[in-house]
A and B are shown apart, each in its own frame.
Chain A
Amino acid sequence: MQEEDPISVALKQEEDAAPNEAPRLSVLQWLRSNLFSNWANAILTLLGALAAFLMLRGVLNFVFSENREWVAVRTNLRALMTLSYPESQYVRVWVALGFVVGLAGLSAGIWSDWGGLPIRRLATWFMGIGGLIALCVVVREPSVLMDSEGKALSTLEGSLQRESFGAAMADRVDWWIAALVLFTVGAVLWSRYSSVQRRHVELPITSIVYVGIGIAILTLWVVPYGHYAFVDGTYIAESGTTVAFSTQMPWTVMWVLLGLGFLVGRFLRSSQYVGMSKTGSNLLWLICPFALFWVVLRDPALDYGHVMSTDLPMGLAFGLLGAGALWLLTRSDIGEAGRIAATLLLIFAIFNWVAAFFGWYPMLQKARISFLLLAFAALLAPNFIGDIAKRRQLVLGWVGVMALVHYLATMINTPSTVDLQSDEFLGGLGLTLFVAVIVVVLSFPLGVLLALGRTSKFPIFRMLSTSYIEIIRGVPLISVLIFFSVMVPLFLPDGMELAELAAVLTGYTLFSAAYLAENVRGGLQSITKGQYEAADAIGLTSAQRTGFIVLPQALTVSIPQLVGQVISSFKETSLLAIIGLFDFLRVANSVIPAQSEFMGVKREGILVVAMIYFFFNFIISKYSQRLERRVGLGER
């Protein structure tokens, strides 16, 4: 058994204790006390049940209607996912997805703190799903009768002719069997594990994961979902010939990667490297959107002459000279000179950007970024003064950051080899996720800085942050997006170009940061004066006070609002359609209905898109609830 942190142990004890203490109500007792406790409640219950029944029936009739053309969605899965990305390069998409899936498995393995699932709960799920299927089978209307040409038959009055109820139930025999099997398995499990001794028997989480992945892989090879082709008026499932073209093989690999990642994560969790692997996996999550997009998906064509003559020497120079400078700045006898040097460096770094704007002297963008980063590292240096180990930490960290920044900068500046059919590099879900992730990752630190600025003691920071936040919050997102896609290119100095996507990302990030800042400010205001005084009294500097005492508590308090902002940033990427980008929703709303085979088929695609949006947001929301519970324990 691995060592567990005190929080999860305490949580587990709490969960274990609860069912023993609360007296259990039978189902009838529960119904009576909660749903039918008096006449008014009984009426409300019945009305609610009726509404739920009508809604379920409506959804089922919509989904299973003979008029639905689900094949439009199935045929256009590629368009929905990536739109114009060339099919010959699909292996890149799979590599990117495989990396994310493997990393997800790894993180789940490292962080999951639940050992198992009670078999009784699993049994109730089986019975519940079986019962729900049976209910749906009965609720759904009988199918419409068709004539030999495939047209729906109608009576003389104009209403559709339907088969008899008995015939409908007989037609749905496969659903009945599925419901029956699930319910039986659930009931058997339930009765076998209802005795007092076996009530709390749990299925280990690892075996659940492996069984789940096994079932997922099995269905891949039984149900031919995935890419369909439209050939001579019929839709055929493509047989997988190459990795890039089939969907069975890649998805099998994805599921296996997920399982392997989980296995490795569980192993790391029980090893002594658990702390390091947590940090490592978080860092990978932070870097992977940038690396996957610019390195894998764009497949930059490196000009090795330029790399050798410019990029590599520059990266090395910044890495080594910066390391030397930081080594000097962390000498124990540096004193005030260190602060002065760092301040001068910061002024120089900021001046570089001003100079770039007016075109005074040429300097590569990444050199400007490197100087700015060096200035920040120099400002941090006083915290690393001390023994060799501490100084080495800062210097090695600097070399690592420089390697990463220069690698990515080189990749970003190199043109893509991917042969595009249109102006759009990526569309569909790929674009939506890319924009959402980049915006959230970039706007978060900016938002925190703005919130700190707005609550700062220095009037100039306070004024700048406040006016920034208020101006951005007073403007609709669409106008910010239009401004950045149409107007900003006009303001740029000669010779500087900004891709449409980059312009939009900038605008959206600036917009989102203002809202995040307000959420963080709410958290900052909840920190009592005593916390500041206690931090001062033990001698922390104001940066340490902010980093160790104020921000951790403020961010914890504002988790619900921050997650709300993340979710709305993700959903509002659909506004990208307004400025001409083909996001996920636009593919379903305008691209598919414009195809000659599926003229005007819109509703199916939009329903699927809505479900996928919901899927992602549900995961984010669930995760944030777990996070709240975890960090909330310290507050009690």
Chain B
Amino acid sequence: MNIDDATAAANDRLADRDDMIVCVNVDKFYGDFQALKGVTATIKEGEVAVVCGPSGSGKSTWIRCINRLEVHQGGDIVVDGIELTNDLRNIEKIRSEVGMVFQQFNLFPHLTVLDNITLAPIWVRKKPRAEAESMARALLERVGIPEQAEKFPGQLSGGQQQRVAIARSLAMEPRVMLFDEPTSALDPEMIKEVLDVMKELARSGITMMVVTHEMGFAREVADRIMFMEGGEIVEVGTPEHFFTNPTEDRTKLFLSQIL
């Protein structure tokens, strides 16, 4: 099977799934600077999409627009059938369905690991505390650090903190997980433990959108890779297509720099 057939096959496989995230001509400005220039893309249910590109290409801005941490000025974003507008109720609904993992973890330093994870289920999902705690412990088991439940984030290593952050997002039982450079702030020896958790997650069938520079991860688990530069999506394709036969010159240049 040649590579373009593979891309076509992947597209076919995804074609009959429901749309999870739909972006149409999304524009974003910071003052005079246009960070996103008509970004159009569709991510299907259960898809793992990796977004890569050089610094300042708009990857993080785009992913942050999807749960409205940034406000886009033009175009439409629809997540799971709900359009992102200024309506507060839609934003709350989308945020409780979309989990986000940050580069700097952003755990709550004054709460224990367990409280970090159970806060939102108890107060947003209105779950009883006992149920929320048993779920939190199960999630800590899943990310491999069940023994750290009573500690404070400041007592954990970076890799452990990022795994807690993933567990915290999963506690809301989201349908989509967004990862904004989840391994960029980690020491090299801790990157693997976080990537392992993310790979397990990808295989579990949740929809994932990952901004990362980890090309090994992208090659292994991504359904599609999107390459961005200058606020535009330059090229989209399966990992096979992307790494072995990129069509755009800018993609080739980027790959030659990082591989």
Contacts and interface: CB of A to CB of B under 8 A. Distances in A.
A551 to B, nearest CB: 10
A533 B69 contact: yes
B215 interface: no
B102 A534 contact: yes
Given A6-B150, A552-B110, A635-B154, A539 B92 contact: yes
Interface in B89-115: 92, 95-96, 98-100, 102, 104, 106-112
A105 B124 CA distance: 39
Given A534-B108, A541-B92, A548 B102 contact: no
A633 B110 CA distance: 9
B67 interface: yes
A600 interface: no
Given A385-B126, A386-B126, A538 B109 contact: no
A549 B152 contact: no
A538 B102 contact: no
Contact of A533 (B99, B106, B111): B106
Given A533-B69, A634-B154, A539 B120 contact: yes
B172 interface: yes
Interface string B155-184: 100000000010011001000000000000
Contact of B154 (A386, A539, A544, A636): A636
A410 B115 CA distance: 42
A534 B126 contact: no
B109 A634 contact: yes
Contacts of B165: 534
B123 interface: yes
B119 interface: yes
A553 B110 contact: yes
A390 B169 CA distance: 25
Interface residues of B, number: 33
B155 A636 contact: yes
A541 to B, nearest CB: 7
A634 B107 CA distance: 12
Interface in A208-241: none
A361 to B, nearest CB: 36
B168 A556 contact: no
A383 interface: yes
A534 B108 CA distance: 8
A540 B123 contact: yes
A498 interface: no
B190 to A, nearest CB: 19
A531 interface: yes
A537 interface: yes
B152 A531 contact: no
Given A537-B100, A538-B172, A634-B154, A544 B109 contact: no
A530 B106 contact: yes
Contacts of A390: 126
A538 B155 contact: no
B107 A534 contact: yes
Interface in A496-551: 528, 530-531, 533-541, 544, 548-549
Contacts of B107: 534
Contacts of B96: 539
B31 to A, nearest CB: 18
Contacts of B112: 6
Nearest to B68: A536
Given A553-B109, A553-B110, A383 B69 contact: no
The secondary-structure label for the interface of chain B is loop
Contacts of B109: 553, 634-635
Contacts of B152: 633-634, 636
B68 to A, nearest CB: 8
A393 to B, nearest CB: 13
Given A538-B95, A539-B120, A548-B123, A530 B102 contact: yes
Contact of A539 (B95, B104, B153): B95
A6 B107 CA distance: 19
B102 A533 contact: yes
B126 A538 contact: no
Given A383-B123, A540-B123, A541-B92, A534 B155 contact: no
A402 B106 CA distance: 40
B106 A531 contact: yes
B95 A536 contact: yes
A548 B119 CA distance: 9
Contacts of B69: 533, 536-537
A396 interface: no
A636 B152 CA distance: 8
A537 B169 contact: yes
Contacts of A635: 109-110, 154
Interface in A364-408: 383, 385-387, 390
A208 B3 CA distance: 82
B168 A538 contact: yes
Contacts of B153: 634
A556 B108 CA distance: 13
B67 A537 contact: yes
A634 B95 CA distance: 27
A631 B99 CA distance: 29
Nearest to A533: B69
Contacts of B172: 538-539
B226 to A, nearest CB: 21
A539 B124 contact: yes
A534 B117 CA distance: 12
Nearest to A7: B152
A3 to B, nearest CB: 12
Nearest to B127: A386
Contact of B106 (A386, A534, A541, A636): A534
B30 to A, nearest CB: 15
A383 B126 CA distance: 9
A3 B172 CA distance: 32
Contacts of B126: 385-386, 390
A545 B98 CA distance: 17
Contacts of B169: 537-538
B88 to A, nearest CB: 9
A544 B110 contact: no
B165 to A, nearest CB: 8
Contacts of A385: 126
A352 B154 CA distance: 49
Contact of A537 (B95, B128, B150, B154): B95
Given A544-B123, A634-B152, A537 B99 contact: yes
Interface in B56-102: 67, 69, 92, 95-96, 98-100, 102
A320 to B, nearest CB: 27
A536 B165 CA distance: 14
A383 B122 CA distance: 10
Nearest to A555: B110
A540 B110 contact: no
A538 B119 CA distance: 9
A566 B112 CA distance: 30
A122 B155 CA distance: 34
Contacts of B123: 383, 540, 544, 548
24 contacts: A386-B126, A390-B126, A530-B102, A534-B106, A536-B67, A536-B69, A537-B100, A537-B102, A537-B169, A538-B99, A538-B172, A539-B95, A539-B124, A540-B123, A540-B124, A544-B124, A548-B108, A548-B119, A548-B123, A549-B108, A556-B110, A631-B110, A634-B154, A635-B154
6 closest A-B pairs by beta carbon, nearest first, are A534-B106, A539-B96, A530-B106, A538-B120, A537-B100, A634-B152
Interface of A: 6, 383, 385-387, 390, 528, 530-531, 533-541, 544, 548-549, 552-553, 556, 631, 633-636
Given A533-B102, A533-B106, A634-B153, 4 more contacts: A531-B106, A538-B124, A539-B96, A634-B154
